Amino acid sequence: MKKVFITLFLAFSLQTIVFSQHLTVYSIAIPDFCNNCAGAFVVEAAGGVPPYLYSIYNIVFQPSNTFTGSCVGIYVVTVKDDEENFVNDIIEIVNITPLLLSISITPSGKEASGVAELFVENGYPPYLYSINNGEPSTQNIFSDLPPDYCRAVVIDTR
């Protein structure tokens, strides 16, 4: 009886399989103050295959994720990963004008009976008001103030 031996060779192919998440982007805008093109934005990318490159309007890509000197307006930022995957985000730089505070004062003479009414322009209401480091309040009229200097603070929602 003849015996037949069959040698079986199995070929294995080893490949590295990378399971990456989809490329995503998140942007943070820093407002422009007084329309002087001092706005900025920071773009955060995740997923995909780093390193990332960043561009405004898909023109010139840079390794930095920070864009400064931005004027008021809407920007389209593009992020590109190492495998040429792209994702876009829209960023709006808004103008923030400084708060303007005016005060109407009824003097107290020598008694602690003075009254101050605070008026605010610009910013983002509702406002919080404080006199002499007191607890901020939505009330803009302060009474029983001493005959001395007072420090007024106004806080808006931004």
Confidence at 53, pLDDT banded by 50, 70, 90? very high
Q: Does 149 reside within a domain?
A: yes
Asked if the model's pLDDT at residue 39 lies above 50, the reply is yes
Same domain, 89 and 114: no
Same domain, 80 and 118: no
Share of the chain above pLDDT 70, in %: 87
CATH number, domain of 79, equals: 2.60.40.1080
Same domain, 87 and 112: no
What pLDDT, in 10s, does the model give residues 127-144? 999 998 899 999 999 998
What pLDDT, in 10s, does the model give residues 61-110? 999 999 999 999 999 999 999 999 999 999 999 887 788 899 998 887 78
Report the domain count for the chain.
Answer: 2
Range of the domain at 45: 24-96
Same domain, 28 and 90: yes
The pairs formed by 135-143 with CB atoms below 8 angstroms and a separation of 24 or more are: 141/115, 141/116, 141/117, 142/115, 142/116, 142/117, 142/118, 143/113, 143/114, 143/115
Rank 52-61, 117-126, 144-153 by mean pLDDT and report only the highest.
52-61
Which string of DSSP letters, residue by residue, matches 51-115?
Answer: --EEEETTSS-BS--EEEEEPSEEEEEEEE-TT--EEEEEEEE-EEPPPEEEEEEE--TTSS-EE
Say which DSSP state 137 is in. B
